[in-house]
Every structure is written in structure tokens, then in C-alpha cells.
Amino acid sequence: MAKTKKKYRIKKLAVFEAFIILLLLAGLIWVLFFRGGGVFDKKEPEAEPVLADITADIPQETQVLTTVVTTQAPTEEKMYSEYHSDDMPESKLKTENFVTRNGYSFYTENGKVTSIAGIDISEFQGDIDWDMVKAAGIDFAMIRVGCRTYGTGEIVMDTRFGENLEAADKAGLKTGVYFFSQAISEDEAIEEAYTVLNAIAPYNISYPVVFDWELVEEDNARTDYVSAEDLADYSMVFCECIKAAGYTPMIYQNKGTVIYRLDIPKLKDYDFWLAEYADKPTYRYDYQMWQYTGDGVVPGVKTPVDLNISFKDYNSNFNTD
């Protein structure tokens, strides 16, 4: 009787274990074949997300903003709104009055040329026949006094500035000067101004004395991280030193730097020399001189030379003794 009960219990346990195994197998089959799509099915790779997919559920007005931010650089108008203001004087020059003849640009009013033709030069132009330059119709020359190096910050004088000033003046050209700045502080800008003032004291300067601070694009420079506000301050202190000495201060800049790297409203009281290489300038604010090419050809100059026109006739009695 005891053996019979024992066999019965063993048989009952075996049936229970078999039932548990069947449940486990059923669960495994359901997971693999029904929920997972089959163990032998290949899962297709997911496609890379694209901008259209990412923005599909974004409201339309938000999608437009997202597209602009991810695909376009800041517009020129946006940069103007950041660094320019409504009280900046607008240029009164009319685009249709600019004309080009034989590689030279002019500004005309009522059919007559009212602009003044000029060049800017440095020691890199070599020997210049200034009489030929004057005979070619060039009336003024902007001559480099020197520069500050963009690496070490050393001030270096132009080796020909003195002879160029004397020879240009003797040939009958009006002369101004510029200094290529790489200042990174107000003290350096002041140092540059006094360097220029000391250098030009013996000469007859009738056109502006120019602060020419430029970005260095081909190499790393000590000026790479100068802010728009600081650059405006350096320009201002240079110009104030020049003005206090009795000369006409001016700021030279290309259009791109003005838009992106210069707080120009601070400088609206100073004359401006615009560099924009084009058939007609597009800069919207006031400027007194325009450099329109760096590849000009002028008799008497052996190398390509920057060509300019001035819309203002700068006449003075500075240093005429």
C-alpha cells in the first residue's frame, strides 16, 4: 500500500513538471514567432534621419526658422542690425552715378565727373615715376607710413614712405598716409598714432591720416580675437590723437569687416575709407573714399596698384612751411 502511494505521487509530479515545460515552450514560441516576427526574419536597417523627417512634426513657422539656422549663415542685414543703428548717416551717393572707363571708376553728377582719382602705395610698389602718375590723371596718393606685425606686434616703418611723400608732393599730387595696424589694446593704437605723427611731421600732408586695421586671413594672428567693440575703441583713440595734432583722421575698412567685426556707430564722426572691390559700391552708410580694385594699372607704377576715388577734396595748410 505504501509503495502504491509513492508511485502515484511520482507520477503526479512528473505530469506537473511536463505541464510547466509545455508552458515555457509555448511562451518561448510566442516571443520568437509572433512578437518578434520570426527568428529567421531579417530586420531591415533603419534609414538615416534627414532634416525633413526631423522637422515633420514641427509647426510650419518653426520649421522655417529651423531650416534657416541649420543651412544659412547670418545675413548681412542681420549683422547690420546688430552693429549699426538708425542714427548712422546714410550714403547720399547714387549707384547710377558710378561709371567705369578704361579700368577706372568715376562718380558723376549732371554728366560731369566730380570724384577725385587716387592710388595707395607702399614700399612693395618699388620705384615710382610720380610725374607719370600725375600725367595719367591721378590727383592724390595715400602712402603707407608703416605697420605693426601680426605675429610679434613689432612696429616696422615703410622703407620708402619718406621718398614717396616728397616725390608725390613735388609732382603735384595731394598726399595722405595710412598705418597698417594690428593693435590689440588702446595703448598700442595710441603708440601707432604717435609713431605716424612723428614720422610725417616734416612733410606736407593734405589728405587724411588713416587707421588701417585689417583681419589676417592666411595665418594665425594676435588680433584674431579682438571684439567689434574693442576694435572701435582702438580706432577711436587713434583718430583722436590724429585730430588733436591738427590732421584729418580717417578709418579704412573693407565692407566685410565693417559688417562682422566693427561697432561702426561709435565711429560715425570720423571720415571713412571703404574698400569694396566691385563695379559699384553697395555699402549703405556714409563714406568719403572708395577703394575699388587692388589690380589697377597706372603709368609710372611697375606693379598692380590699389585704385581709389575720393568724393571730398581734402585741402589744408598743414605743414606747408
To the nearest whole number, what is the mean pLDDT of the chain? 81
Cα Dmax for the chain: 145
> Comparing 10 with 209, which gets the higher pLDDT?
209
Q: Are 226 and 189 in contact (CB under 8 A)?
A: no
- pLDDT band, very low/low/confident/very high, at 27 (cuts 50, 70, 90): low
Name residue, grid cell 502504491. Answer: 4
pLDDT per position as a tens digit, 166-201:
999 999 999 999 999 999 999 999 999 999 999 999
pLDDT of residue 68: 28
Nearest in space to 168 (alpha carbons), one of 301, 3, 34, 25 = 301
Residues in the chain: 321
SS3 292: strand
Phi-psi region of 91 (alpha: psi -120 to 50; beta: other; left: phi over 0): beta
For residue 76, pLDDT over 50 is answered with no
Tell me: domain 91-310, CATH 3.30.2350.10, correct? no
For residue 75, pLDDT over 60 is answered with no
pLDDT per position as a tens digit, 198-212:
999 999 999 999 999
pLDDT of residue 4: 42
Check the CA dihedral 264-280-248-181 and report its sign: positive
pLDDT per position as a tens digit, 104-141:
999 999 999 999 999 999 999 999 999 999 999 999 99
Instruction: Tell me the domain boundaries of the chain.
Output: 2-70, 91-310
For the question of whether the overall pTM of this predicted structure is more than 0.85, the answer is no
Interacting residues of 153 by C-beta distance below 8 A, sequence separation 6+: 182, 184, 188, 222
Nearest in space to 158 (alpha carbons), one of 142, 170, 138, 139 = 142
